[in-house]
Amino acid sequence: MELLSTNVCFEGEHRRYRHTAAALGCTMEFAVYLPPAAVGRNPRPVPALYWLSGLTCNDQNFMQKAGAQKQAARLGMAIVCPDTSPRGLGLPGEDDSYDFGTGAGFYINATEQPWAPHYRMYDYVVKELPQLVEDQLLLTDKRAISGHSMGGHGALICALKNPGRYASVSAFAPIANPSECPWGQKAFTGYLGTDRSRWEEWDATLLIPTARERLPLLVDQGTSDEFLDSQLNPDVLADACEKMHHHINLRMHRGYDHSYFFIASFIDDHLNHHAEALGLR
């Protein structure tokens, strides 16, 4: 890992790294916040929250806008922020739109060309990146996962598809049923093809009935989110959970939108949710 920058923050360190990602076949950048417990005079390994960002974002949006470091420092929790897609591959169409290609990897493993060799963000987030940071930084193998919008979708599917890998999961305004919304249908058609049966393993709502582990879901959603009805559809996820007795705490927040102002308002609740599961509270 090549260290690109480091900033002291609440007695911990915010770092940015670059490395060659085998799963993606390209160079990737990511960010890590290490709390004081992991960088102080007597450093020790700490558990980590993996944060997955949304469309058009990279590793820097959450770290600069969410205001999560203060509470993470208090709790002794690291935060790992990957990018949202491979970048600079020169694939045809990768930069044509904001919701497909660059900045829009959707945290799945593509099967269609020319995306299949590189757009494998699921493997990168679930396997390669955790192994890398746990080997080279003071991080334990206790993990939590969360995210926003496209990243909320990513967090939900990563947890649902990997029983025992994460202690907890949460999401802000997730794309809860991507098979049935324009963002998801565009991405899934491009990355996975037109056979909708191949989409089912990447859709949180469709994974709920067969989930082998039923981690409680914490989902926050703003009522003034411009994408609520057309793209996000949290009520469909909640209905699926209710039918399967899968605990979900869907909190609707009056007047809040899709922005990082919303995330910053409730991020401490999510950090506390994960801290309990990680044994930090």
pLDDT tens string 208-263 = 999 999 999 999 999 999 999 999 999 999 999 999 999 999 999 999 999 999 99
pLDDT at 34: 98
8 A C-beta contact, residue 255 and residue 224: yes
Tell me, rounded to whole angstroms, the distance of Cα 91 from its chain centroid. 24
| Predicted local confidence at residue 41, as pLDDT | 86
What's the rounded Cα separation, in Å, for the pair 201 and 242? Answer: 20
Average pLDDT over residues 50-56: 98
Q: What is the mean pLDDT of residues 12-25?
A: 98
Domain containing residue 227: CATH number: 3.40.50.1820
- Which residue in the list 59, 83, 203, 225 is annotated as catalytic? 225
pLDDT one-digit tens code per residue, 96-146? 999 999 999 999 999 999 999 999 999 999 999 999 999 999 999 999 999
Active-site residue, selected from the candidate residues 85, 149, 168, 170: 149
Q: Alpha helix locations (H) across the chain? A: 36-39, 60-65, 69-75, 121-123, 129-136, 150-161, 182-192, 204-207, 234-244, 260-277
Known catalytic residue at 258: yes
What's the pLDDT at 202? 98
Q: Which two tokens stand for residue 236?
A: 């469909």
pTM of the complete model: 0.97
pLDDT at position 40 over 90: no
CA distances from 44 to 26, 35, 138, 209 (A): 32, 10, 6, 39
Q: Which of 23, 48, 264, 263 is nearest to 151 (CA)?
A: 263
Number of domains comprising the chain: 1
Which pLDDT score, from 0 to 100, does residue 154 have?
98
Q: Tell me what the mean pLDDT of segment 2-28 comes to.
A: 98
End-to-end Cα, the chain, rounded Å? 31
* Residue 149: active-site member: yes
The pLDDT assigned to 119 comes to 98
- CA torsion 190-219-151-64 (nearest 10°) is 150
Q: Which of 258, 270, 273, 274 is catalytic?
A: 258
CA angle 220, 221, 222 (to 5 degrees): 130
Q: Flag whether pLDDT at 281 surpasses 90.
A: no
Residue 225 a catalytic site member = yes
pLDDT digits (tens, 9 = 90+) for 65-103: 999 999 999 999 999 999 999 999 999 999 999 999 999
Considering only CA atoms, which of 280, 268, 270 is closest in space to residue 174? 270
What is the signed CA dihedral for 58, 63, 68, 70, rounded to 10 degrees?
A: 170
For 166, the domain range is: 2-278
- Torsions phi, psi for 29 (to 5 deg): -115, 150
Question: Which pLDDT score is estimated for 24?
Answer: 98
Q: What is the pLDDT of residue 92?
A: 95
Q: H or E segment at 217?
A: strand 217-222
pLDDT range class, residue 57, cuts 50, 70, 90? very high
